[in-house]
A and B are shown apart, each in its own frame.
Chain A
Amino acid sequence: MSLPSSIRCQFPALQQEVNGRPLVYLDSAATSQKPQRVIDAVSNFYETSCANVNRGAYELGRRSTNLYEGARTLLQEFIGAEHSEEIIFTKGCTEAINLAANSWSAEYLEYEDVILVSEMEHHANIVPWQMAAERHGARVIPIPVTFDCEIDLDQFESLLREEPVKMVAVKHICNATGTINPIEQIATMAKEAGSAVMIDGAQGLAHQRVSVKDLPIDFYAMASHKAYGPMGIGALYGKREVLRELPPYQGGGDMIRAVSFEDTTYRKPPGRFEAGTQNPADAAGFAEALRFISEVGVEALHQHETEIRIAAEKMLQDAGADIVGSPKEKAGIISFVLPRIHPHDFSTFSDQLGAAIRTGHHCCMPLMSSLGLPGTARVSLAAYNSIEDLNVLIEAIESARRIFA
């Protein structure tokens, strides 16, 4: 394995037993476990620096603001953004997409315009666009997905040609199948057709390096908690010239320049989009998670997860599982089905052996219906996994098969 097994020791939650067995955590696409240094960064904030951001002109207020703005600068550098004002903190990736869907649609979306979303999108990158489309009389049209679980680029091209497309919203990495989408190619095609582009990067940060300034995209949405950071914080990247034109998402304190009953004016981005008390504690944790990822290396993480994934796919197939999708580029995520064993029944067997896996539709109901599956069992990998973790899953398959075969 390309990463040392000592990495696992940095994650306190992994040092426990579940149902009398060592915990084997295989659900990092839902949320990753957190290293001690991230947990410490969050609690240090409350122990030493707890004050509201951008308000108190006193030492704690300065510390809090510095931590918060420091996290913004770190994230900017991490994703290769040109300006720190292009990073808006949100409460998560879902809110980041909702922010873009609301503010961008308010400015640009018109009657009968078309928003293209792929069939493999997470509900979080479908529903906000459906809600925006409903408000503006626009339409959301799905881009079909091939049997291999890749976005069908021929059909995408036809849709761009035939429809008045204003927005293309696709995910970077598919949480259900592991597909890594060719976002640069998709974005380039969309831009040539005159469309804006939103990339849902929920699964991206800890698995694929991005350089957003080199991508022809308008938005990239991110989650901290899927990248070793705390829950409750995420971010939206938006190109500076795009964000400057957009109206606020929520109203409140701190997002205004001046308020009166005659005329309220708003701050420039990112402040315009950050109403109310912000979350510097989790921003500090998010920053520490980015430092952790940088030290290990995104490429090393991807290689580690790929080595385990390839070995795991073979073990699962040998145990009788069918792997769902065979995209050319794939992250450390494996969806599989077992003949005659419903995924939900299987998850109880793996839980009994201390293994945490996800089963169901993975918030991708349109993808599941297009694949003709009620759901799948999913293994998703991270820095702390090893191939030995998969032995437990094979044991669970054997034990389920004894009952269901």
Chain B
Amino acid sequence: MLQELYQEVILDHSKSPRNSGVIDEPSHQAEGFNPFCGDQVKVMLIVDEGLIQEIRFSGQGCAISQASASMMTQAVKGHTVAEARDIFKTFHKAVTEDDEPDIDVLNELASLCGVKAYPSRIKCATLAWHAMEEALENHA
């Protein structure tokens, strides 16, 4: 059963996270923090004329939070801020509601839908996303 939660693609992202590291001069950044487990993530972006040119994340956390951050950076890079927010909405719905996930929008991110069965882990999957949303709100 836990094989469904920890799918191969999630383990791959958590072991070799994409876009991990720092951006020296980000136009937007924010930190996400889960006081329940101590996971923390910092999301940095370079947004130019409404387009996400660059996004990176740093921090530490469980496999779910690391994989979700990694997949998020791939999913939103090259998209507009408005599109990134829409992707988050779709993703949030997919990990909290029972409807079939929108695979066309989510691609690999759909692999994280397994957290629905483990309510205490949903926050792990959304941590980096909330940080990105806050970064985009605070400094846009």
Q: Residues of A at under 8 Å CB distance from B?
A: 342-345, 348-349, 352, 359-361, 365, 368, 374-375, 399, 403-404
Contacts and interface: CB of A to CB of B under 8 A. Distances in A.
A361 B38 contact: yes
Question: Closest 6 A-B residue pairs measured CB to CB?
Answer: A344-B62, A342-B62, A361-B38, A360-B37, A344-B37, A375-B38
Contact of B6 (A359, A360, A403): A403
Main SS class of interface, A = helix
Interface residues of B, number: 19
A360 B61 CA distance: 10
Given A361-B38, A375-B37, A375-B38, A344 B124 contact: yes
A348 B61 contact: no
Interface in B18-39: 36-39
13 contacts: A342-B61, A343-B62, A344-B64, A344-B124, A345-B6, A348-B118, A348-B120, A361-B38, A365-B38, A375-B37, A399-B2, A403-B11, A404-B6
Given A342-B62, A344-B61, A404-B63, 14 more contacts: A343-B62, A344-B37, A344-B39, A344-B62, A344-B124, A345-B63, A345-B64, A348-B121, A352-B1, A359-B37, A360-B36, A374-B39, A399-B2, A403-B11
A403 B3 contact: yes
Contacts of A343: 37, 62
B5 interface: yes
A359 B63 CA distance: 14
Interface of B: 1-3, 5-6, 11, 36-39, 60-64, 118, 120-121, 124
Contact of A404 (B11, B118, B120, B124): B11
B3 A374 contact: no
Nearest to A376: B38
Contacts of B61: 342, 344, 374
Contacts of B60: 374
A343 B62 CA distance: 7
B2 A349 contact: yes
Nearest to A396: B2
Contacts of B64: 344-345
A359 B61 CA distance: 12
B63 A342 contact: yes
Contact of B38 (A348, A349, A368, A399): A368
Contacts of B118: 348
Contacts of B11: 403-404
B38 A374 contact: yes
A360 B60 CA distance: 12
Given A359-B37, A374-B38, A375-B38, A403 B62 contact: no
Contacts of B1: 352
Contacts of A374: 38-39, 60-61
A141 B115 CA distance: 41
Nearest to B39: A344
Contacts of A399: 2
Contacts of A365: 38
A236 to B, nearest CB: 26
